[in-house]
Structure 1
Amino acid sequence: MAGAASQAPSTTAAAPVDLAPHELRILVAVDRERGFSAAARALGLTQSAVSHSIRGTERKVGAVLFERGRKGATPTAAGVAAAAHARRVLRLLDTLAAEARGAARGTVAGPLRIAAFRSAALFLLPPVLERLTARHPGIEPRVHVVRELGAGTAGEVAEGRADLAIATIGATSPVPTGLVGDVLVEEPYSLVYPAGHPAPRSLPLVDWHENCGSYTRRWWARQDWIPKATVLAEDDGAVLSLVSRGLGMAIMPALSLTEAPDGIETTDLGPDRPTRSVGYVTTPELAAGASVRALIRELRAPRR
């Protein structure tokens, strides 16, 4: 089987690809489970049915989607792309049904999958979702917290795992190709240090990895007073906890400082201070849907 997977199925490049929803579901399951047997169990099918479906899908798209081996099925580059598109298509089919029912009843309803980094999930989204569900009780928000690294939250939308993401975007961090979005808030960074410390810039740096714009990276590189981080934390909440206990200073965006713990002080970093642009990202197709449109309206409403 492993040897057979190394040769791409032949097809006419211009031929239309006509995949049925059940073929897409099988493709997504194999990608998720990383194996034909596991995907078959998850779907309640036989392994031979799953294998037959994947072979048929590969013939139709003209590319090998999975490398077969003893350890399971590993998606090729083509498989990764195909699975992402399959998830997005399946989500649109779900949206079609939910919005058709909603149109018949004059309501907006159904699950709404949101990816957000930690501070956005804690402080930006709750009042937004409170207003959204008050206006549209049938909407079921499902928030998934994702570290804002690499593809980050926007990558969840691109991969079809989220309908909308709260992401770091802006002039220096553009919306990823193929997606749409806009900036919601520009956050300044501040110096954060233990309350009452007489010389906070002399403290070691406590830091965490996050996506930030090129302006912020350039600003950081120009500051010869900022030492190399001696403590790295998993997220901004851990950074604040460490700083509040006198273990160092940090440079943090405003959203992360919402409801900051006792024991810290902040100082403005001046007119050329770094900033972070936080916005939303979705797909062009979902942006036209009633649930995502309703969420975007609430995100754009003035913050209270």
Structure 2
Amino acid sequence: MAAASAISAALLPPVPGAAAAADLAPHELRILVAVDRERGFSAAARALGLTQSAVSHSVRGTERKVGAVLFERGRKGATPTAAGAAAAAHARRILRLLEALAAEARGAERGTVAGPLRIAAFRSAALHLLPPVLERLAARHPGIEPEVRVVRELGAGVAGEVAEGRADVGIATLGAAPPAAAGLIGDVLVEDPYRLVHPAGHPAPRSLPLVDWHENCGSATRRWWAGQDWIPKATVLAEDDGAVLSMVSSGLGMAIMPALSLDGAPEGVETAALGPEPPTRTVGYVTTPELAATTPVRALIRELRAARR
């Protein structure tokens, strides 16, 4: 890998002026994104219907223009460097704006709001918060084509999908860091309180083992959690909140879950308050400053805010 980087670096001339990157064409950005996605030049070539040499030539040209090595070349394919990951994220966002440009122009000519709308959301938001919002959006703007992807709130999570150009809008849990820290904008939609969830009719639910899942709770809630000496260490870890509810309804333990995850809880489950000041998670939307100005994103934000009211 190191040798490959050295060879790639040797191909680069001295860093050109800042204007050189502006010479990048859309097809070069598409190739950059494809190599990042496919993790290889040959795989990217197949996906784009190009030759492997054409893809390699394009990437080398892009590297010369930006003045940085974007991919580590090796037997296992092409791994993006830190510069490559950043460049691919910018490329995805630029390509999405070019798509929006065409859609906005057609919409302005026809007096309609139309085009694709990529939404990322964590599971319970996609199940319970988004459907009525999208129903109203479809009634007002039938030309908008929503695409919803469920993203786990681990690592960069939903906000990361937006920041990296894979989604236009994200319904995310907003942690201690504001969206602006990731170059995003957004707003709070709901403060989602946590509740104790247990098998129906159990006489002492706090004595039960704890069932949990990795995405559960933000850092603030975990600090509250750590100060409660009655909460045991989880003995069962599930994949998601739906699996947790199924296990609790089967009598395998109790759980501490946000209210949004409890919509449509199965029979055999009851909930109880965690006290006068229960922990909450903040749920909101995030998008990029550029996409926030596009008509499909603005339309969705209006419906999200109406649902909040």
> What aligned pairs does 1:180-259 form with structure 2 within 5 A after superposition?
180-210=185-215, 212-259=217-264
Q: Would the aligned equivalents of 1:195 and 1:263 in 2 still touch at CA under 8 Å?
A: yes
Deviations 1:192-230 (A, max 9, x none): 000000010100000001264332121111001000000
Deviates further, 56-65 or 267-276: 267-276
Deviations 1:79-111 (A, max 9, x none): 000001000000000000001100100001011
> What aligned pairs does 1:283-294 form with structure 2 within 5 A after superposition?
283-294=288-299
Equivalence for 1:163: 168
Q: Cα gap change, 1:232/1:153 in structure 2, threshold over 3 Å: closer, same or farther?
A: same
Distance 2:251 2:65 in 1: 61
Q: Kindly report structure 1 stretches of 4+ aligned residues shifted beyond 6 Å.
A: none
Equivalence for 2:141: 136
Q: Would the aligned equivalents of 1:64 and 1:78 in 2 still touch at CA under 8 Å?
A: yes
Distance 2:210 2:58 in 1: 54
- Select 2:15's aligned residue among 11, 18, 41: 11
Distance 1:47 1:87 in 2: 21
Deviates further, 129-138 or 1-10: 1-10
Equivalence for 1:29: 34
Structure 1 residue 127: deviation in Å? 0.3
Deviations 1:233-288 (A, max 9, x none): 01000000000000000000010000110001111111221101000000000001
Equivalence for 2:272: 267
Equivalence for 2:126: 121
Q: Which AA in structure 2 matches 1:165?
A: G
- Select 2:157's aligned residue among 152, 157, 171: 152
Distance 2:18 2:303 in 1: 43
The CA RMSD over aligned residues, in Å, is 1.5
Structure 1 residue 148: deviation in Å? 0.9
Tell me the secondary structure at the aligned position of residue 240 of structure 1. helix
Q: Which AA in structure 2 matches 1:22?
A: H
Tell me the secondary structure at the aligned position of residue 301 of structure 1. helix
Q: Which AA in structure 1 matches 2:289?
A: P
Identity of aligned pairs, percent? Answer: 82
Distance 1:154 1:211 in 2: 16
Gaps in structure 1 of 5+ consecutive residues = none
Q: Would the aligned equivalents of 1:150 and 1:211 in 2 still touch at CA under 8 Å?
A: no
Distance 1:12 1:278 in 2: 44
Gaps in structure 2 of 5+ consecutive residues = none
Distance 1:294 1:211 in 2: 30
Distance 1:59 1:303 in 2: 48
**Aligned: 1:60 with 2:65:** yes
Tell me the secondary structure at the aligned position of residue 302 of structure 1. helix
Q: Which AA in structure 2 matches 1:268?
A: A
**Aligned: 1:89 with 2:89:** no
Equivalence for 1:174: 178
Q: Cα gap change, 1:191/1:7 in structure 2, threshold over 3 Å: closer, same or farther?
A: farther
Q: Cα gap change, 1:259/1:8 in structure 2, threshold over 3 Å: closer, same or farther?
A: farther
Q: Would the aligned equivalents of 2:216 and 2:257 in 1 still touch at CA under 8 Å?
A: no
Tell me the secondary structure at the aligned position of residue 259 of structure 1. coil
Structure 1 residue 42: deviation in Å? 1.1
Distance 1:7 1:297 in 2: 51
Tell me the secondary structure at the aligned position of residue 40 of structure 1. helix
Equivalence for 1:69: 74
TM-score by length of 2: 0.95
